[in-house]
Structure 1
Amino acid sequence: MFVFNHTVVGNKREDKICQDYSDIYVDNSFYIGAIADGHGSKTCIRSDIGAKLVVECAIECFRQFATTFLAENITLNIPTTRHCRNIIQNLTNCIVASWYDAINRHYATDPIKGLPAECVPHLYGTTFMGALVVGDYLILLQQGDGRCVVFFENGDISQPIPWDRRCEYNSTTSMCDADVTTSIRHAIIKREDVVACFLGCDGVEDAYIDTYHDINNDTIKNHCIMGGVNVFYKHLLVKIFEEQTNFNNYFRHMLADFAISGLFSKTGSGDDVSVVGFVEKGKVFNNIQSYKKDVELYELEELFYWKNDDIRSKKRKLEVLEKRLETAKSDLNIVKLDVLKKRKSGLLKYRENFYIDVLQASKNKQQAQQTFDNYKSQYFDLEQQCEKLQQKIRNYE
């Protein structure tokens, strides 16, 4: 199994302190990965430390769990039985207790005068997501936002960890919540059909316009909910297949660019980004052509969507420019008529001023005409680009 991770700092934080943290642990018989996203708020002033500590604690608890699991040849029944749930609860309790011990030890070295003891965990507030591949199982844990995406050999893609509605948009649950031991969600999957598992913080999903809503229409058919997130990971699978030994170098550079500029999206989230991946390289080949096609088609649809959006914007401005042109033409006609009236009335001594007015009105009309023509040309060019993209999309179907 190929396991990798990387974390990059975003560009929207003024202090440039990365709130994300990720790490992996690879043993001969099991694999561990974890990510965390510190809240970074004004009250969670040590959340970057909290994120690092929860990842370190989780990896150690996972390691101890895996060692015992293999030594005692534990079997996990799916769907989970009470015994299985108790095993998972013990694992989550270990992580929570270890994290609280770690933050309290850190706080003891640098206390804040007058801060009540019950407020200390909030200083270190962070989300957490972790995965353990051991024996025949993939064990997943999560507190807070971010997404775990699993790819299967039959082509299915799922987010197996139950979702918590408290973790949408700008809200999330946290390791510092009072109910953390009961609100950590989990999933257990049989490993045999899994191609890959990815853990990604919200810096991934926030880069895509279809994370929470379908934007499909007659032409765009792959921008369903989480379509962008799924394509992001399909792209990684394609690159793992193509790059082989050079993937880690590619991934580090790509993720840094992604945080700012996005990938198959108009822009990046600007947030810190962390990704952990577990990939069965031998199983990727069967679906690689499908992944490539999906990535290419999504990219075309994304371009089509934003060009159409640009057309809508330009159409409104074109209508405004057309009205300005009509006004300039009308003003010129009014000035010309005024000159004719003055001539007939014999006011020739004001002739110079009349001609200045005509020249200015004529100049205004010419400028309005040129602006309108240029913008109209851009508009028609965009329409042609959209038609070509639409045809390319149809050719994929």
Structure 2
Amino acid sequence: MIDAFHYSCEGESHKAINKVGQDYSFSSIVDDLAVAIVCDGHGGDRYFRSDIGSRCAVEATLEAVTFFVEKVGDSLFEKKKFTAVGPTSSLKDAEDLSEADSAFRQLFSSIIYKWNEKIKVHAKSEPLTEWEKANVPQQYLDEFLKSETFEKHYGCTLMTYVQTPKYWFAFHIGDGKCIFFQKDPIWTEPIPWDEKCFLNETTSLCDNSPIDEFRYCYEGDGKFPIAVLLGSDGIDDSFGETTNLVNFYIQILKMLAKEGVKATKSSVIETLPKLSKIGSKDDMSVACVFNLDQVKENINLFIRYQIDRANKELNDIEEKINHLKNRIDSLVSFSDEKSKIEFKYAVKDLERAFSAREKLAEKHNHLVEELPEGMVRPYFIEDEDYVIPTQEQPKSDEVVIEEEPKEPEKEVTTEAIPEEQNSHKESPKHQAKKLSPLESKKHRLKLQAQKKNHRKKRRR
């Protein structure tokens, strides 16, 4: 059974300045046609109506895709093996375009045209709002009022997945991620990436020649993904590595299998705003098409993938722990200052590695419990009784002094002679120079006591 859901939320950074969310998402299952769409409006001042641009892009795409599927029928993709095409600029001058390539260029051209018509109608019918007048730089407001084309003010990205009973296809312009889940490999990114999408730079429907920036893929040989998840860049930016994003999506699939669509969507609605707050702070959108029966049937494969990832991370941590143990053992008997510092840092690193391993082992064993008993063994920490050695070192208030050969100490009586009568002799200060620091201190104290007694006798 094919099903779908979608959700978009306002980003934390937009809430802080009372700015509307600029993402728009959509999903539907109508007459065996499954569609999922995610659009991400640009956040710069110039693109101050990109939230409307995202909505118009979804509407234009749904209209164009529905007509495309009805027109081309099944024959265009019949028995076609998986095919992926990068930015179509590489095809525009080719004389030997395949029938599918030509059809997709017509589809993209139709989407761009419909989108431009929709944003033009909106721009002409909707005057500047009070918020726009107060928050958008005047140069962009003037540009908007004088212009006859409005792509820049409504600019956004577009990502789409379409599935029929006979074939599927997907296309993309801009950033964000489209992740497919299947049996082998567990996950892929089938739509080729565009290197122009880097950091804050992205391709867009508002570019000068957007038709040459679409990437796409398709398949008509009877193979379908178990699930497809489309997410705006606010989501993948929050996870860093794609494997972390995949793990998040697997959690969604696991919930679908165990608790159903309604509970899963409620959880996503609750989770995405929290993720934006602690992550990218950007708007977030997700749209998903999935075969619920196959998700349930293959859920153990996805859990095994998570366990394998945890095992790899545990192996990496074990290697680090062993290295740090050897490092500590090599430093424990040295007492020079450099070795002490290196020892101290190695111990701290080891403590952190122990803590990370403990948390990861707990996560690993929790995943094992989700599988049938005996399918995967739990992870056991073998060196729980390990005690970190300590360096033997002097106490901080001890002063280690190499003693010099001592001269016989002259006896000093309490009947000390006044200094003014002994100017021809060595002063106590000069005597102290010949003594060790400790002896010098004791000697000074003794002389001070002698002077004090001498003054008392004179007063008497």
Task: Tell me if both proteins adopt one fold, taking TM over 0.5 as the criterion.
Answer: yes
Does residue 51 of structure 1 match 2:35? no
| Native 8 Å contact 1:200 1:274 kept in 2 | yes
Please report how far the alpha carbon of residue 144 of structure 1 lies from its aligned counterpart in structure 2 after TM superposition: 0.4
TM-score normalised according to structure 2 size: 0.60
- Mapped to 2, the partners of 1:35 and 1:65 lie a distance apart of 19
In structure 2, runs of 5+ residues without a counterpart are: 84-96, 128-140, 318-336, 338-346, 365-376, 381-460
Question: 2:230 maps to what in 1?
Answer: 199
- Mapped to 2, the partners of 1:208 and 1:136 lie a distance apart of 34
| Native 8 Å contact 1:47 1:124 kept in 2 | yes
| Native 8 Å contact 1:24 1:59 kept in 2 | no
Provide Cα deviations, 1:347-374, integer angstroms capped at 9, x if missing partner: xxxxxxxxxxxxxxxxxxxxxxxxxxxx
Give, as a single letter, the amino acid of the residue that structure 1 aligns with 2:358: K
| Native 8 Å contact 2:172 2:191 kept in 1 | yes
Equivalent of 1:180 in 197, 206, 210:
210
Please report how far the alpha carbon of residue 381 of structure 1 lies from its aligned counterpart in structure 2 after TM superposition: 6.5
Equivalent of 2:120 in 101, 104, 111:
104
Does residue 238 of structure 1 match 2:254? yes
Question: 2:191 maps to what in 1?
Answer: 161
Equivalent of 1:138 in 168, 186, 192:
168
Where is the helix percentage greater, Structure 1 or Structure 2?
1
Secondary structure of the structure 1 residue equivalent to 2:205: coil
- Mapped to 2, the partners of 1:154 and 1:133 lie a distance apart of 20
- Mapped to 1, the partners of 2:54 and 2:173 lie a distance apart of 12
Question: 1:367 maps to what in 2?
Answer: none
Please report how far the alpha carbon of residue 23 of structure 1 lies from its aligned counterpart in structure 2 after TM superposition: 1.0
Equivalent of 1:22 in 21, 25, 29:
25
- Mapped to 1, the partners of 2:67 and 2:277 lie a distance apart of 38
| Native 8 Å contact 1:33 1:59 kept in 2 | no
Question: 1:341 maps to what in 2?
Answer: none
Question: 2:298 maps to what in 1?
Answer: 287
TM-score normalised according to structure 1 size: 0.69
Please report how far the alpha carbon of residue 204 of structure 1 lies from its aligned counterpart in structure 2 after TM superposition: 1.3
Secondary structure of the structure 2 residue equivalent to 1:120: coil
Provide Cα deviations, 1:292-336, integer angstroms capped at 9, x if missing partner: 244467679999999xxxxxxxxxxxxxxxxxxx9xxxxxxxxxx
Provide Cα deviations, 1:197-250, integer angstroms capped at 9, x if missing partner: 11111011101232xxxxxxxxxxxxxxx1111111111111110111422222
Does residue 128 of structure 1 match 2:129? no
Question: 1:388 maps to what in 2?
Answer: 358
Please give the residue correspondences for 1:30-41 in structure 2 after superposition, counting only pairs within 5 Å.
30-41=33-44
1:240–1:390 CA distance, 2 compared to 1 (3 A): closer
In structure 1, runs of 5+ residues without a counterpart are: 211-225, 262-267, 307-325, 327-376
Question: 1:350 maps to what in 2?
Answer: none
Secondary structure of the structure 2 residue equivalent to 1:194: coil
Secondary structure of the structure 2 residue equivalent to 1:18: coil
Equivalent of 1:90 in 103, 106, 128:
106
Please give the residue correspondences for 1:43-82 in structure 2 after superposition, counting only pairs within 5 Å.
43-70=46-73, 73-76=75-78, 77-78=80-81, 82=98
- Mapped to 2, the partners of 1:156 and 1:174 lie a distance apart of 30
1:300–1:42 CA distance, 2 compared to 1 (3 A): farther
- Mapped to 2, the partners of 1:6 and 1:148 lie a distance apart of 15
Question: 2:177 maps to what in 1?
Answer: 147
Please report how far the alpha carbon of residue 93 of structure 1 lies from its aligned counterpart in structure 2 after TM superposition: 1.0
Secondary structure of the structure 1 residue equivalent to 2:63: helix
Question: 1:250 maps to what in 2?
Answer: 267
- Mapped to 2, the partners of 1:44 and 1:74 lie a distance apart of 37
Provide Cα deviations, 1:105-135, integer angstroms capped at 9, x if missing partner: 1111146656453662100011111111123
Please report how far the alpha carbon of residue 380 of structure 1 lies from its aligned counterpart in structure 2 after TM superposition: 8.3
Provide Cα deviations, 1:30-52, integer angstroms capped at 9, x if missing partner: 11111101002111111111011
Please report how far the alpha carbon of residue 154 of structure 1 lies from its aligned counterpart in structure 2 after TM superposition: 2.6
Question: 1:213 maps to what in 2?
Answer: none
Does residue 229 of structure 1 match 2:231? no
Task: State, as a whole percentage, how many aligned pairs show the same letter.
Answer: 25
Please give the residue correspondences for 1:315-394 in structure 2 after superposition, counting only pairs within 5 Å.
382=352, 384-389=354-359
Provide Cα deviations, 1:15-70, integer angstroms capped at 9, x if missing partner: 33101000123212211111101002111111111011101111111122223344
Give, as a single letter, the amino acid of the residue that structure 1 aligns with 2:192: P
- Mapped to 2, the partners of 1:124 and 1:303 lie a distance apart of 47
- Mapped to 1, the partners of 2:313 and 2:51 lie a distance apart of 34
Secondary structure of the structure 2 residue equivalent to 1:269: coil
- Mapped to 2, the partners of 1:27 and 1:132 lie a distance apart of 11
**Structure whose CA Rg is larger:** 2
Task: Provide the alpha-carbon RMSD of the alignment.
Answer: 3.4
1:106–1:379 CA distance, 2 compared to 1 (3 A): same
Secondary structure of the structure 2 residue equivalent to 1:171: coil
